[in-house]
Structure 1
Amino acid sequence: MPATIPILDLGPLLEGRPGALEALGAELRRAFTEVGFYFVRNHGVPQPLIDAAFDAAARYHAQPLEAKLAMPFNEHNQGYLPMRGNTTRMNAVDGIKKPNMNEAVFFKRELPLDHPDVLAGKRFRAVNQWPANLPGFRETALEYAGAMEKLGKTLVPIYAAALGLPHDWFDDKFREPMFTLRMTHYPQQEPTSAEDEWGLAPHADTSFMTILAQNKVPGLSIRLPDGTWIDAPALEGCFLVNGGMMLRRWTNQLFLATPHRVTNRSGQERYAIPFFMDCSYDAVMAPIPTCVSKTNPARFQPFTYLDFMSEYSGANYGERGRSAAGVELQGA
């Protein structure tokens, strides 16, 4: 395994050992200023649940296309996105490529029909769509999302420590995090397929935090700050975590949003279950005070999850990413 990707051991933190948070904060700061990715081990998420989530993703995508299309991807970024259904634009690296060679289904926090945000029609706060004939699928997806949210909230104080902030600085901003569970299918790509056709084109994530379960089928590559691409190692019992453009903007560009890509030439079908976690819907993100100085003044205006994700969705999903008002928002 390349020594470039740090490994954070959560065991001491979960056991409540003195100084654990400060030590992890120093490791995370190095990870995000030098690499942009890190592993976590001893995270407390049961392996059988992770295996069940991978199995659920495979079961979902094994359905007939008609069953998947019955859950169309919508303006809330929920539902089924068909093969080659999006093109990486706003967060593209090295130019816009062909539409991505994958299919995916997206779920957010489970909200009831009578939730105030649902009744008010707030964008990205809608009711999930679920497959009609997959017994146990919904329960598995929600259990896995719940475990990922718990892990993400465990990690957030480490970010505060890494940034020289009080350990509870992010608490009010992550009271009810926005999140997306994406279950993706990458079909086999022929070795002779076009060089600019990717399972997922080189890009930076949008999220504050992406938590990725380790995949037995290879395909993920990471671009290090020196421009070198490396195949992401798969460490048993670990999650791979990275930050995206939201984290980079919030930290006034102190932390990296490292590009990565997926190509499946493994000879097998590949499934991925990334979990994207962000701050609460109404939290206002202004450049973090410890990331602003006379030599590095604030580079961005304050923004919210809705501001940021509306811009991203319109750029990358086109017609499917139109706002509720029907106006397509252009990416930067």
Structure 2
Amino acid sequence: MAGAAPPVLDFSPFYGNDKQALAKLVEEVRQCCLHNGFFQIVGHRVPAELQQAVFTQVKKFFDLPLESKEKISRETNSWYRGYERVGSQIFEDGTAPDLKEGLYLGEDIPKDHPYFIHKKLNSGPNLWPEDLDDVEAFKSISMQYYWTVLELARDVLSVIAQTLGLDASFFNEFTKDAVATVRCLHYPPQPKDSDETISRGIGAHTDFGAITLLMQGDVDGLQVYDKTTNEWFDVEPVKGAYVVNLGNMFMRWSNDTYVSNLHRVINKSGKERYSVPFFLSGNPDYVIECLPNCRKESEDPKYPPITVQEAVGGNYNKTYGAADEFYRKNGMIKQAPVSTAQEITVE
């Protein structure tokens, strides 16, 4: 497969009875997973009305004053829920802090739940923006979206299982009681003359977990690296589509057969960019070991068995620690409000 932007695939055969169309979809997904681990899907079952409702609520949240958003700061808890301001992370070495603000959401797990008690991966209660005019609508739409996209993630994994010659139900146990994260993101526009060598909406990185399903909105900025041509390709927004990519854990799981690939966001559109990625980590106690059909019988797996908790946990801390170190080296105070892209500079 030559260098190109991730293709847009029709996912509807997964829900139909046309075996030939399904086989074509499976082969298309297999080729993408082998090449760079990225593709887009349309023809899924997430209602367009729900997608639009999510973006409406996301924009309402980010339009709140900084003081209101920081009432639910991510830094008030240890399970990665709540708001984070622009410049909180650095994903790519040698760049300035990422020019985005975000809101972490997930399954709304109470503090008496075993996952919270035993500090399982990013598990705990959500922090809700009480300053919104209709916070109950925000809660309801967010949770409906979470459970709907979780089902889509299971469907995508069913297709991926078939790309490896496995039963369509192979990943069912992995997704039972799974941990996943919805991350609402807002990228203020970068100045058109900004230095792309240091300015990123989000720096070049690979994702941590199994798979990611990204709802892009209508403003571009996402770029995917193609190692075969050493180029970055724009992933143009397609209305209603999801950008799907594999994470590091799945690459390890497949014995490096499939690819977890570099991607980044550079928002030079001059517009506000909103996106909502859904990160599926899986059941935190599930053991990740080399998948069937991903190694020769005469060879040992490249990696020893590891739990989802061990594979994914701790990755987030690195990106936040890198940002803290940046502020320290540049004599900047992290606690100072950072509300626009222009306020972060390298001194």
TM-score by length of structure 2 reads: 0.85
Instruction: Confirm or deny: 8 A CA contact 2:6 2:38 kept in the other structure.
Output: yes
Question: Identity of paired residues, percent?
Answer: 29
* SS of aligned partner of 2:19: coil
> Closer, same or farther in 2 for the Cα pair 1:20/1:132, shift >3 Å?
same
Q: What are the equivalent positions in structure 2 for 1:248-287 lying under 5 Å apart?
A: 248-287=251-290
Output the CA distance in 2 between the equivalents of 1:294 and 1:185.
47
- Whether 1:234 aligns to 2:237 is yes
Task: Give the number of equivalent residue pairs.
Answer: 315
**Deviation of residue 294 (structure 1)?**
5.5
Instruction: After superposing the two structures, state which structure 1 stretch, 111-120 or 157-166, moved more.
Output: 111-120
Distance in 2, matches of 1:230 and 1:242, equals 15
Alpha-carbon contact 2:54-2:142 (below 8 Å) kept: yes
| Shift, 1:27, TM fit | 1.6
* Contact 1:21/1:161 (8 A) holds in 2: no
Q: Distance in 1 between matches of 2:278 and 2:78?
A: 19
Q: Is the 8 A contact 2:120 2:309 kept in 1?
A: no
Secondary structure (helix, strand or coil) at the match of 1:13 reads: helix
The CA deviation at 1:7 is: 3.2
Paired residue secondary structure (1:111): coil
Deviation per residue, 1:271-322 (Å, 9 max, x gap): 111111122121110121211226764111212222122230221122999x
- The aligned residue for residue 221 of structure 1 is 223
Structure 2: any 5+ residue segments left out of the alignment?
325-347
Give the one of 107, 110, 114 matched to 2:108: 110
Task: Note if contact 1:22-1:158 (Cα within 8 Å) is conserved in structure 2.
Answer: no
After TM superposition, the structure 1 = structure 2 runs for residues 154-303 of structure 1, keeping only pairs within 5 Å, are: 154-195=155-196, 196-226=198-228, 227-293=230-296, 297-303=300-306
Deviation at 1:57, TM superposition (A): 1.3
User: How far 1:21 sits from its partner (Å)?
Assistant: 4.5
The verdict on how the C-alpha distance between 1:124 and 1:163 changes in structure 2, with shifts beyond 3 A counting, is: same
Residue matched to 2:316? 313
What is the distance in 1 between the residues matched to 2:234 and 2:271?
A: 17
Deviation at 1:107, TM superposition (A): 0.8
- Per-residue Cα deviation, 1:183-240 (whole angstroms, up to 9, x for no partner): 0110011122233110101111112111112321111111112211111122233211
Specify the code of the residue in structure 1 equivalent to 2:87: R
Instruction: Tell me, in whole angstroms, the C-alpha distance in 2 between the residues paired with 1:20 and 1:306.
Output: 36
Q: 1:207 and 1:121 mapped to 2: Cα distance?
A: 17
1:77 maps onto 2:75 in alignment: no
RMSD value, Cα: 2.2
Q: Aligned partners of 1:318 and 1:295: how far apart in 2?
A: 42
| Alignment correspondent of 1:6 | 7
Structure 1 residue 47, shift from structure 2 partner: 1.0
d(CA) in 2 for partners of 1:228, 1:319: 26
Tell me how far apart the structure 2 counterparts of residues 19 and 87 of structure 1 sit (CA, whole Å). Answer: 45
Given the two structures, how large is their TM-score scaled by the length of structure 1? 0.88
Cα shift readout 1:21-50 (whole Å, capped 9, x = no counterpart)? 443322211011123211211102111111
Distance 1:4 1:267, change over 3 A: closer
- Structure 1 portions without partners, runs of 5+: 322-332
The 8 Å contact of residues 100 and 188 in structure 2, kept in 1 or not, is answered as: yes
